[in-house]
């Protein structure tokens, strides 16, 4: 084996990527633990208040609850114990329900995945269509409006867009239900709300990439040979311009997960978003950390898949082509 082959083996993504993924998950766990520990209030006191317990309770019961949920030690003892349980794939128990956090996440995840998938199916064609229209239309005013629209949409608050859609399509036109998880009709408005920022991000990245690729020498050569504009765009420019979209896949996934928290709250949909919102309000530390770790794991997995797919689309960065 040559020195170059050995260097490629030792620096291959299959070696350093797992370590990087573990570091990201550890950082997400540690940061969420520190923030939740620093929040004012006592999780056990909140639990007793929500359960209707009187102001004065038996100290023995409080101590028993603290011991049951591993809240009776110092900061470092709680952190070390939670980290040790995590290494054994134990996410702990929910403070509010007493059920395992993994069970709560498994019950809430399908609804959120359905919402995210529906939003993604809307965002991709909408974003690509907007970028293509901004490139193809020659009228300066219309072209400028299409190219600037994504920046405007990205800046709009998700909750404001959701409330606007609710007011128009649910309360005034009565076309779609305002809340709940009942049927495909209840998925339309949340999916559109969540898809608009994603479509704007795709349109921004793809629009800039199309403008850059269209100035490449091979494009000028194809134009000089008489290749039509649509054939040139769809057959040559778009293939090369779409590659940078992979670099924002992780960001797009993060936006979908973050937007799901707001969207599920606005539309009263059950899912990971509402689970996280309820857990934060009650300082249910185990559930919040479970949601954070789930989001971090999905982010890491997306970026890992991106690294694996990227060389298939762009031969220039394949390991065999590197010096």
Q: What is the CATH number of the domain that holds 152?
A: 1.10.3720.10
Same domain, 176 and 216: yes
Same domain, 133 and 266: yes
115 by Cβ neighbours in 10 Å (0-12 / 13-18 / 19+) ranks as buried
Q: Cα(256)–Cα(128) distance, rounded to whole angstroms? A: 18
Q: How many domains does the chain have?
A: 2
Quote the crossing angle between the two packed helices 285-313 and 13-38, to the nearest 10°: 150
In a domain, 317, yes or no: no
Residue pLDDT, tens place only, 127-150:
888 888 877 777 777 777 777 777
Q: Cα(174)–Cα(177) distance, rounded to whole angstroms? A: 7
In a domain, 174, yes or no: yes
DSSP SS3 for 289: helix
Q: Cα(211)–Cα(288) distance, rounded to whole angstroms? A: 42
What Rg, from alpha-carbon coordinates, does the chain have?
25
**C-alpha closest to that of 190 among 265, 275, 108:** 265
Q: Look up residue 233 and give its DSSP letter.
A: I
Same domain, 29 and 172: no
Same domain, 206 and 159: yes
Residue 313 has which token pair? 């689309």
In a domain, 262, yes or no: yes
Q: Are residues 175 and 169 in contact, defined by beta-carbon separation less than 8 angstroms? A: yes
Q: What is the pLDDT of residue 52?
A: 60
In a domain, 72, yes or no: yes
Q: Are residues 287 and 275 in contact, defined by beta-carbon separation less than 8 angstroms? A: yes
Same domain, 78 and 136: no
Same domain, 251 and 291: yes
Q: What is the pLDDT of residue 137?
A: 73
Same domain, 117 and 160: yes
Structural domain boundaries, residue 195: 109-296
pTM of the predicted structure, to 2 decimals: 0.75
Q: What is the pLDDT of residue 97?
A: 80
Q: What are phi and psi of 56, to 5 degrees?
A: -105, 120
Locus of tokens 């996440």: 105
How far, rounded to the nearest angstrom, does the alpha carbon of residue 17 sit from its chain's CA centroid? 20
Provide the sign of the torsion angle of the four alpha carbons 33, 39, 44, 49, taken in this order: negative
In a domain, 192, yes or no: yes
In a domain, 234, yes or no: yes
In a domain, 148, yes or no: yes
Locus of tokens 């800039």: 208
Tens digit of pLDDT per residue, the chain (323 long)? 444 444 444 445 556 777 787 888 888 888 888 887 877 777 777 777 766 655 566 677 777 777 777 777 788 888 888 888 888 888 888 877 878 888 888 888 888 888 888 888 898 888 888 888 877 777 777 777 777 777 778 778 888 888 888 888 888 888 888 777 777 888 888 999 988 888 888 888 888 888 788 777 887 787 777 777 777 777 777 777 777 777 777 678 777 777 777 888 888 888 888 888 888 877 788 888 888 888 888 878 877 777 777 666 665 555 555 44
Q: Are residues 298 and 320 in contact, defined by beta-carbon separation less than 8 angstroms? A: no
Residue pLDDT, tens place only, 14-54:
567 777 878 888 888 888 888 878 777 777 777 777 666 55
């Amino acid at each position: 084996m040559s020195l170059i082959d050995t260097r490629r083996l030792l620096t291959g993504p299959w070696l350093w990527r797992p370590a990087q993924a573990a570091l990201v998950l550890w950082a997400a766990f540690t940061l969420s633990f520190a923030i939740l520990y620093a929040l004012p209030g006592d999780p056990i006191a909140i639990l007793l208040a929500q359960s209707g317990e009187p102001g004065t309770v038996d100290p023995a019961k409080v101590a028993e609850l603290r011991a049951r949920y591993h809240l009776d030690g110092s900061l470092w003892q709680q952190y070390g114990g939670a980290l040790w349980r995590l290494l054994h794939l134990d996410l702990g128990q929910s403070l509010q329900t007493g059920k395992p956090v993994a069970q709560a996440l498994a019950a809430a995840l399908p609804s959120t995945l359905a919402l995210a998938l529906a939003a993604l199916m809307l965002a991709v064609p909408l974003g690509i269509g907007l970028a293509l229209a901004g490139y193809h239309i020659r009228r300066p005013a219309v072209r400028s409006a299409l190219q600037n629209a994504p920046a405007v949409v990205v800046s709009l608050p998700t909750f404001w867009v959701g409330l606007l859609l609710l007011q128009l399509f649910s309360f005034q036109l009565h076309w779609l239900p305002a809340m709940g998880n009942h049927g495909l009709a209840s998925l339309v408005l949340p999916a559109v709300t969540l898809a608009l920022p994603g479509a704007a991000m795709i349109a921004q990245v793809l629009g800039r990439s199309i403008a850059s690729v269209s100035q490449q020498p091979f494009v000028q050569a194809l134009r000089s040979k008489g290749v039509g504009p649509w054939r040139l765009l769809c057959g040559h420019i778009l293939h090369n311009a779409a590659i940078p979209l992979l670099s924002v896949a992780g960001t797009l996934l993060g936006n979908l997960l973050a937007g799901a928290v707001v969207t599920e709250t606005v539309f009263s949909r059950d899912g990971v978003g509402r689970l996280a919102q309820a857990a934060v309000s009650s300082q249910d530390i185990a559930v919040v950390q479970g949601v954070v770790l789930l989001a971090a794991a999905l982010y890491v997995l997306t970026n890992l898949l991106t690294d694996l797919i990227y060389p298939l689309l762009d031969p220039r960065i394949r390991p065999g082509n590197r010096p």
